Amino acid sequence: MATTIETKGNALTYETIEAEAGLKAALAMSRADLVDFVRDSDLKGRGGAGFPTGMKWGFCAAEKADQKYIICNADEGEPGTFKDRVILTRFADLVFEGMTIGGRAIGASLGIIYLRAEYTYLRPHLNEVIQARRGAGLLGHNILGVEGFDFDILVAMGAGAYVCGEETALIESLEGFRGEPRNRPPFPVVAGLLNNPTVVNNVETLASVAAIFAKGTDWFKTFGTDKSTGYKLFSISGDCEKPGVYEFPWGITLASLLEEVGGTGAKAVQIGGASGVCVPARDFTRALAFEDIPTGGSVMVIGADRDILDVAENFLDFFVEESCGQCTPCRLGNVQMLEAVKLLKKGECPPEFLAAVKDLGGTMQVASKCGLGQTSPSAFLSILEGFDDEIANRAPSA
């Protein structure tokens, strides 16, 4: 354990996965079968975007190049998300096992884990685990005796930039540049790190890959819904009795989740962090799943006594700070939205200004290059929609 700080929650499936069972199963298959196996599991990216992992690996495997990379995205910066910290603390081997399987599948000999600067205290632990894996023949040359299968993993550090969780910004950062997202295409699977084909997967995605190879795709599909297979780790915080990291199958309703964590009576739940949406209590029958409310797992419970505009203000403060500044709608739009929230709090926001800002939010969603800009208005717009009564009926302050 790299840190003695323990996060509570419920029992995690990762605890039941036999060490290296996934890697051994994978090494008994052909390379092409590895991609098909992941495709068959219907695993979707656990970072939030939900791109099918098997498809991503398939694109990269099809590229012809001397050098390819698999990157583990451990730049867990979405506000309210901390499940990757717990996975890296308790199940780092599983993550590296997943990376090794990925390296085999796409034909990469090097894996890099990009760890956010705020988690620097985890770095010695990760290096120890990597070193132990080298010693055990699980990394290095001819892994587990498989002739010609060479793969190693390095830890690279971020330096404090939320936008670097976006995969092309992350790659820019690894190359020693400002973490500004690239235009796509080309996608990283074609031209990523140093222009080589690169797969970027979230920490939890890679741990799940190892679990799927250990237990099989049929097992994985027994969890979740038709369109969202498997289980998911949720980072639950805010106004509830038992915050922590919880595993639930996809498809759980917000009402059941709140019951589990002692958060009944909440007036709203913010799903997906600052870039996510605010769901009012009347919609707690909705489910967490790719086909309903998709999420990377951040769940912030908002208690009955909170001012919903404080929530909007907190997130917009965050985006004003974290916008990389490349795209004008995002750079300036978030400042305007923050201004609107401040006026709304005072009961002094002219309706025309509010309408203009809503319109601007729509522009930001379509005219920003990366996910940060596209999603930054989401929380505010969902709050305006869901809490019209609370906002509109505010008396002007003296």
Binding site for other proteins (CB under 8 A): 3, 5, 7-8, 76-82, 84-85, 116-121, 156-162, 173-179, 235-239, 243-245, 270, 273-274, 300, 303, 306, 310-311, 314-315, 317-318, 321-322, 324
The least distance separating other proteins from the CB of residue 371, rounded to whole angstroms, comes to 16
The least distance separating other proteins from the CB of residue 245, rounded to whole angstroms, comes to 7
Q: Judged by CB, which is closer to other proteins: 217, or 382?
A: 382
Cα torsion 260, 264, 268, 271 to 10°: value is 0
- Reported as type and span, the H/E element at residue 278 is strand 277-280
Q: Judged by CB, which is closer to other proteins: 80, or 192?
A: 80
Place of tokens 């297979």: 229
Look at residue 288 and give its three-state secondary structure: strand
Beta-carbon contacts of 224 under 8 Å, excluding residues fewer than 6 positions away, are 230, 231, 232, 249, 250, 251, 289
Q: Judged by CB, which is closer to other proteins: 237, or 365?
A: 237
The least distance separating other proteins from the CB of residue 221, rounded to whole angstroms, comes to 30
Type of residue numbered 166: E
Q: Judged by CB, which is closer to other proteins: 3, or 67?
A: 3
The least distance separating other proteins from the CB of residue 330, rounded to whole angstroms, comes to 15
- C-beta separation of 290 from 227 below 8 A: yes
The least distance separating other proteins from the CB of residue 297, rounded to whole angstroms, comes to 11
Locate 2 and state its tokens.
């790299």
Locate 131 and state its tokens.
């070193």
The least distance separating other proteins from the CB of residue 121, rounded to whole angstroms, comes to 5
Type of residue numbered 94: L
Q: Judged by CB, which is closer to other proteins: 57, or 162?
A: 162
The DSSP secondary-structure symbol of 369 reads: S
Beta-carbon contacts of 44 under 8 Å, excluding residues fewer than 6 positions away, are 50, 51, 52, 53, 228, 229, 290
Q: Judged by CB, which is closer to other proteins: 87, or 189?
A: 87
